[in-house]
Structure formats: structure tokens, C-alpha cells
Structure 1
Amino acid sequence: MADLSTLGHRIRHFRTRAGLTLEELGDLTGTAPSQLSMVENGRREPRLSLLEAIAAALKVTAADLLSAEPPSPRASLEIELERAQASPAYRELGLPLLRPGRGMSDSVLKTIVGLHRELDRRARLAIATPEEARRANTQHRSRMRELNNYLPEIEVIAEQATRAVGHTTGALTHRTVAELAGRVGLTIVHTDGLPHSARAVVDLERGRVYIPPASIPGGHGLRSLALQAVANRMLAHAAPVDYADFLRQRLEASYFAAGCLMPRAASLEFLERAKRERNIAIEDFRDTFGVTHESATLRFTNLATHHLGITLHYLRVDGDGSVVGAYENDGLPLPQDATGSTEGEVVCRHWSARRAFARSTRASEHYQYTDTPAGTFFESTQTGTGAMAEFSITLGVPYAASKWFRGRESQTREVSTCPDVRCCRRPDDGLAERWKGEAWASPRVRSHLFAPLPQGTYPGVDDRELFEFLESHARD
């Protein structure tokens, strides 16, 4: 059923087409012209009996009047203007309502509506602040915790896609990735000069996926980028409407890529055997499928609870101790801010995620047990160096599940009482008083926590740079 505004426009449209004035329609329906005017202006809902009387007088059906489709392009613009002026953002301006009378040309009306569209677009961009992003991340992590980080529908889609190209286990080759892309009408193009803010660009019009000519050793990142582009096509992703929608799409695309690189059946066969042998190790899982340590860890979180009955936690932490990514369904007390967000918060210095940085030799994984207010956890951490800074990847499980993992014989044990500030954040007795007024430091500010998200269709991607890149390659 149409809303009152659309209903009013449809009644006016059919009345005008019938050549009737409000007074003449009022005589035919036994209704005062002022009442009909309020109905046509969307300020009063007509009774069903009146609606049927109007339809009969105009020689149309009630269904014709109740259609949700505006009766003309002009009416569509007028309805859009009415809705824009009814928004809280417009009302806050304190400006009078503009009624598009007959004397207003269509071009003027289009201009005014266009201005409202742009104001709405800019308002949506303006709320893309760190706070919004943090809240969206919190909701996103809560949802995935409820699902045990497992998305069965995408598992099936990835399984069907890899089987169609004959891949069931082992490392997925670049050639097979190209074949997967070809099956959804995409061609992989390696090129320099990608927009600095984008890792990959897809030209849907020409069916091209632009990715860099080189990546990390082994090209793990290139395969994943191409597979995420395939996922966006297969999952029919449109431009995200907000940051939460962007996170959902990114998760689904990454999940599909992981499902192709580490197929469910082959992954479970490997992991179930490792569990029987009490020798689960992310490094073995990583090497079997030729992926990065982080990819293998995240894929393990997808499968461990649903298929192996193991609850766990995952952390990616920068060298300064701040959380870049986190997931848990084992009760580990992750650090949180007032919104419940973990990203950007600093983890306890006694956790494996930070203790691993203190080792002089980092070629192997760091194993330790950590006593926390929520119990004891066994953790395995691998460190690495990215483009900007060092980082650590941690997989942890409750003490009872440590029996399934390599490294369980570790004698390293730490005690953490965080979030109690006396654990590792408050200076030792006397130090604060000793240095009060005698110390000064220039902080290394994590600017991404304070600045608004870069404006663009995709958070962080410069629209102008993106579209100019696509246009330059459209002539190739």
C-alpha cells in the first residue's frame, strides 16, 4: 500500500486526468473540498469507504489509487522533496517548508531535490567517525561470536566454486584462481598504479580485476585479493550503505577467499587428524595450504568450534600492544572501551600477544599459559613485520583444550589480573611520586583512532582517484 503522500499524489493525478476540480469531486463523493485537499496533500488518511467513492468517481479501481508507484516523474520528485523536508536534519535548520506549486518548473524542482540528495550523502559520510566504526565492529564481533565465527552458507558456495575447477586440497594455484574468476566473467589484470588507498579494483563493466604485480612472498595476498573480487560478484554485493554493511561485505568476501584457499573438507581432514594425534599447530596448517599464518589462524577459528568442539580466541596486536583484530568465544576478558569495542585498546603486557615481542629469537612460535580472572588459557603466538610496524598473531584456548595442541609442554606461565589497573598499567609504588613534574614525553599518537574515516563509497578509498584509475584503464 502507498504511503499517504504517494496516495495523495495518485488521487490528484487521476482527478486532474478526469478534468475534475476538488469541488466537483467533493459533490460526487459527498465530501467537503477541504477534506479532499488534506487527503491529496498527504495530511489525512481517508476511510476505506471514501477511498472507494473517490475511485468510483474517477473511474479507476481502489488498487489504482493504492499503488506505491508515484503517478509521474514530477510526482516522484515532489514526494522525494516532501520526505527530505520531513527529515530531522532539515528540521534542525529551522527553514520553512517549500511547497512545489504549479509555477515551479521541473528543472528547478530537480535542482532542489538534487541538493537534498547531496546534503543527505554528506551527512551520512560525516557520521563515519571512529565512534561509528567502533560500534559497528563491536556489533559485528558479537554477531560472529553467536555464530561461532562459522558461516555455513558461504562454506557451501566456496565448496561448490572450488569443486567446479577441480580443486579439493593443497595450495590453490594462481592459475586456478584465474579460472575461478573466469567462471564469473572476470579477468585478472596485474598492474602498477593502483589508487594508493585501494588494494584491488574491480571494473564490473569490462569484467576486470586489477591487482598489484607483486605481493608478499609466495603471492598469498594476490590470490586472496582476486578471490575476494570473485566473492563480491558471486554474493551480489552492491555499494555498502554504511560502515556496518561494509564490514559485513568484507567479512563475507574474506570468508569465501579462505574457504577456497583452505577448503572445508580437506581442512577438517587435516585438523581432525592433528587433534587425534594431539598435535594441532597453526604452522602446519599454514604450510599445508600455502597461506599466511594469519589466514590459517582465522580459518581455524571458522572451523574449530563448529566442527572440533574447541572454543578459542584470536588476536592481532601491533608492537605497541594495541588490538588490530580480535575474536573470542572462550570467555577471555578482552580489553574494551565504553562502547564495548576492542579495536585500538591495549592488551595486558603479560599476555602472550605482547610477551612474544620480548623474545630475542622469533623464528618459532611462542607458547605460554596465562592465568586470568576468567581462568587459565594456553596461547600460541607468531610475530611478524608488516609494512608499517611489527605485529603478533595469537591463537588461544582454555586450559582444558591445551591437550590437543603442540607446545602444551611449555613451562612459561604468566599471571594477568587485567582489567585491574594494578596489573600492568599503574606505575610501581613510588615511581609516580618520584617523577611527578620531572618528566615529559612526546606521544606516538595513533591518529587513525581520532580522525574521521576517509570519505568515499568504500571507507578509506578516494572516490576520485578510484574512478580516474578505472577511466584511464577503460581505454586499454
Structure 2
Amino acid sequence: MVKDPDSATTPVARAPFDAALLGRRIRHHRLEKGLTLRRLGEIVGVPTSQLSMMENAKRPIRVTTLARIAEALAVEVETLTRPEPPSERARLELELGRLQAAPLARSLSIPPVEVRRGLSDETLRTLIALHASLAQRDAESKVTPEAARRAMIALRQEGQKVDNYYERIEDQAADLMETVPHGAGPITHHTVARLAEHLGFRLVHADDLPSSTRSITDVEHGVIFLPPATTPGGHGLRSLALQALAHQVLEHDEPRDYADFLRQRIEITAFAAACLVPRDAAVPFLRAAKADRDIALEDFRDTFGVTHETAAHRFTALATRFLDLPVHFLRVRRSGAIVKGYENDGIHFPTDADGGIIGQVVCANWAARTAFNNSARAREHFQYTDTPTGTYWCSVQTGTADAEFSITLGVPFAHSQWFRGRETTERQSSSCPDPSCCRRPTPDVEQRWRDSARPSAKLGEHVLAPLPTGRYPGVDDGQVYAFLERHLERT
């Protein structure tokens, strides 16, 4: 017999188990014993109506009452509070009840089906499948550019609060790197392969990866499929492999929604960068450069053998925490549209009404755009820019992938003293968001062409189309499964 440690009136509902499941277990054992509700109620001293409400989770059960019920049913209290349903039928009834009580069913005004003994198991399974299908369609319908935009706004704001430095991820990356000896200098492909082996995976390059994927991990067989190393050095493949491993190290589950998917993407990117540019090596390097007043992103990039963008983004993760430097980072298209951005130095990026920056166009006088006019595009472009919130020094490198882009690393004027390139005489002035700065032509030019110009706008399909749907946003599940089937025998 269980004694209530608090009082005889403490309800079991406070205990860490499911009330609906408890009621089903009581009913299951009552029917097994051939007892009616009336007879069980008489034995334990509870009115039939109250006992019925307890079995249907509409009334809490007190500990003392539960003990009397267990005694009447000749079972232990622990038997009634087990976490698994007592039968397949009970599991189906509980699952349907959970789905019918979910916010989605209520929002769609779906009337609940009363579960009676005459309702077959097959009918229950069909109703559960219908509710599950509705839930999946609802989740997929939310995977839109609007959902992605709102999620990115929230995640960018979270990153700003921690100065883009994720200590837990940094520590986990450092712990993994300690498992495999490696020398000074850039992390090699061989080292990445050994890290994978340490975690129980091997890397396989496949030339038939689905177009919607960057890599595929076969968890069951311990294989990570990567694209072939078709470019000299294949530096991006190290990052892709480390990002795939990050899912395992960070114990990521299937994304719950698009925001969770984006959060995981940010975390695996940070983890891969922390492996490629280890904190314990990068911080002393940068501190020495600051002491010499010679911080140079190109040196940082080349020392650790990463792309210019990875070096710039990694710098933002370390600069404020370890160098006391506020910074901003931008990846911008030739058109001026922002692809990625981070700031904690007071600069004002253009934003939409909700604070989003993706797709917003930066001022034409900012270094992120004037760098495209630099004749020496192979070298970094340095510039001071006077803005309404202060003067900023920026280092910009342009590049070309599918289209031209620029990578900007900037700091307030007072902190430019620590950087190589501070002696530049290039200076621009920006009064954006004032439209007269760069968004409107001069009055005489506007008057001349306003009624004559008839341009035909270029509209990318991605502007109107929803994102591809699947268990992982943007990924075609059918292609992934077909790929794994093809490679099953080879692995």
C-alpha cells in the first residue's frame, strides 16, 4: 500500500505520468478482472460516476484512491502508472484522443469522434492516419518564404544577444578535435575522415547525389555521402563533412518545424567552422595580430585554409568575446541585396517592417557595393563610410559563385586602428535610409525619363514559389531514398 507523503488529498495528477494513460490502465485491469464500474466503485468507496470520470481522465485521482484501486484490482500501483499503454487498443484510443485534442483539430473545427467499444481498431487507425496527414500538410504549408523570413529574424536576434559566439558548440567542437592528433596548419581531408571514423562513420564521395541535397547520412550503416572532389583542394567538402558530423555530435533530431531546421543549420555551420578554425589556435593568432595592429582577414583565411566568407564569419564569432571588437558582417549580391548579415557594432542595416534584413538592399555608397567598381578585384577593398550612426571602416572581398557577391567585415572607426588597410583614403558618405541618398535619381533625370521608361522586370521563380516540402525542408524525400537504395549494396 502506498502512503501519501504530503496528505491524503494529494491528487495523482501532480505525478509525472499521463492521466489519460492512467485511466486506460485502470480500465484495462478492471475489465480483465471482470469488474463493472459499479462493483469497483463499491470496493474502493468511490461513486460510479466519479470512477468513470477518472478512467476518462476527466477527474484527478488522489494517491490514496489509486492505492485502493490497485488493491482492488490485485496489482501494484507501479503497474497502473507504467508509461506504456496496456494494449494495442488502448494505444490507438490514446493516440486518437491526443490528435483530436491538438490545436490543429480545434483550429479546423473538426468534431471529435467519441470512441466506443463498437468502433473497430481499423477505424481508429484510419482516423489517426487522417489526423496525421492533416498535421503533415499543415507543417508543410508553413514551409514558405514568409515562415523562413520570420524564423531568420528571430535567429539573427538570438545570435546578436550572444555576440554570435555559441560556447556550447565551441566546446563540443574542441572536444571532438582532441580525439584525433593533427599538426599545425589547416585541417586536412585525412583528419576530417579520421574524425568521422571516431564517430563511427566513413566518408563516401558520390556523383549522383540528389540535386536538393548537400550531403546524405546513412545513420544505420554509418556512411556520409558527399559530392565528388571536383575542385582543386575541395575545401568545401571538409565543411560539408563536418556539418554532417555535427548533427550527430549535437544530437539533432528531425526538425520539428522550419525554425528548428534553420536553427540546426546555423548550429552545424558554427560547429564546422569551429573545427576548421579552432578557437584555441585562432584566438592567440588574432590577439598577436591585434597587438601588432595588423589584423588582416586574408592572413586569417590563408593560415587556416578556409574560404574568405568562412574566415569573415568565424572572425565575428571570436572578435567581440576575445578581442573586445564590435563588428558587422555582410554577404551581398551585386544588386546590393543582403544574403546574410550580422552586426553588434551599431550599424543600421536596411530592414523590412518586421526587422528582417534578407533581400533588403544596402546603400550604393557602402563598401559592400562600391567594391564591385574596384579594378583590382582580386585584392581586398578598404573603405571608410560615414553613416547617420557613425563612421565605419570595412574590408571587402568580391567573388563569383552562381552570381557575383561581396563579403564585408566592418568595425566602427575607433577600432580601425587594429586592422591592416586602415590607411586607405577611400571614403564615401551615406545618408540612407533617406531616399535622396542613392535610391532616387536627381529631379531633372527623373522628370526626363519618368513617363518614357518602360522596363521589363526580372522576376525569379523563387519569389513566388513555396519552398520544396518534405521531412527536411527543401529536400525531395523520394530522391534521397532512391539514392540510398542505389548505394545500399555498395556500402
Same fold (TM > 0.5): yes
Q: Which residue does the alignment assign to 1:455?
A: 469
Cα distance in structure 2, aligned partners of 1:321 and 1:312: 20
Cα distance in structure 2, aligned partners of 1:154 and 1:263: 12
Cα distance in structure 1, aligned partners of 2:112 and 2:281: 64
Q: Identify the range of structure 1 (410-419 vs 276-285) with the bigger mean alpha-carbon deviation.
A: 410-419
- RMSD of aligned alpha carbons: 2.0
Cα distance in structure 2, aligned partners of 1:290 and 1:240: 32
1:119 aligned counterpart, secondary structure: helix
Q: Which residue does the alignment assign to 1:415?
A: 429
Q: Which residue does the alignment assign to 1:209?
A: 224
Contact 2:203 2:225 in 1 (8 A): yes
1:306 Cα deviation (Å)? 0.8
Deviations 1:69-91 (A, max 9, x none): 33322212211111211223323
Contact 1:315 1:353 in 2 (8 A): yes
2:155 aligned counterpart, secondary structure: helix
* Aligned mate of 2:46, from 31, 37, 43: 31
Deviations 1:199-247 (A, max 9, x none): 1111112211111112443211011111112222222222211122222
1:314 aligned counterpart, secondary structure: strand
Counterparts of 1:334-345 in structure 2 under 5 Å?
334-345=349-360
List gaps (5 residues or longer) in structure 2: 1-15
Cα distance change of structure 1 residues 430 and 228 upon mapping to structure 2, 3 Å threshold? same
Cα distance in structure 2, aligned partners of 1:336 and 1:142: 13
Counterparts of 1:257-276 in structure 2 under 5 Å?
257-276=272-291
Deviations 1:347-368 (A, max 9, x none): 1111111111122331111111
Counterparts of 1:282-293 in structure 2 under 5 Å?
282-293=297-308
2:207 aligned counterpart, secondary structure: coil
2:178 aligned counterpart, secondary structure: helix
Cα distance change of structure 1 residues 67 and 427 upon mapping to structure 2, 3 Å threshold? farther
1:442 Cα deviation (Å)? 1.9
Deviations 1:320-358 (A, max 9, x none): 111111111111111211222111111111111111112
Cα distance change of structure 1 residues 416 and 28 upon mapping to structure 2, 3 Å threshold? same
Cα distance change of structure 1 residues 61 and 205 upon mapping to structure 2, 3 Å threshold? closer
Aligned residues: 475
Q: Which residue does the alignment assign to 1:295?
A: 310
Q: Which residue does the alignment assign to 1:2?
A: 17
Alignment partner of 1:90 is 2:74? no
1:8 Cα deviation (Å)? 2.3
1:247 aligned counterpart, secondary structure: helix
Cα distance in structure 2, aligned partners of 1:171 and 1:135: 36
* Aligned mate of 2:148, from 107, 112, 133: 133
Q: Which residue does the alignment assign to 1:79?
A: 94
Q: Identify the range of structure 1 (390-399 vs 27-36) with the bigger mean alpha-carbon deviation.
A: 27-36
State the one-letter code of the partner of 2:406.
S
Cα distance change of structure 1 residues 74 and 431 upon mapping to structure 2, 3 Å threshold? farther
Alignment partner of 1:471 is 2:485? yes
Cα distance in structure 2, aligned partners of 1:167 and 1:329: 34
Alignment partner of 1:427 is 2:435? no
Contact 1:2 1:69 in 2 (8 A): no
Contact 2:179 2:198 in 1 (8 A): no
Q: Identify the range of structure 1 (438-447 vs 222-231) with the bigger mean alpha-carbon deviation.
A: 438-447
Q: Identify the range of structure 1 (353-362 vs 323-332) with the bigger mean alpha-carbon deviation.
A: 353-362
Identity across matched positions, percent: 52
Alignment partner of 1:234 is 2:234? no
Deviations 1:55-113 (A, max 9, x none): 44333455544554333222122111112112233234444321232222323322221
TM-score, with normalisation over the residues of structure 2?
A: 0.91
Q: Which residue does the alignment assign to 2:192?
A: 177
* Aligned mate of 1:444, from 453, 458, 475: 458
1:370 aligned counterpart, secondary structure: strand
Q: Which residue does the alignment assign to 1:152?
A: 167
Cα distance in structure 1, aligned partners of 2:29 and 2:317: 58
TM-score, with normalisation over the residues of structure 1?
A: 0.94
Contact 2:44 2:68 in 1 (8 A): yes
State the one-letter code of the partner of 1:344.
G
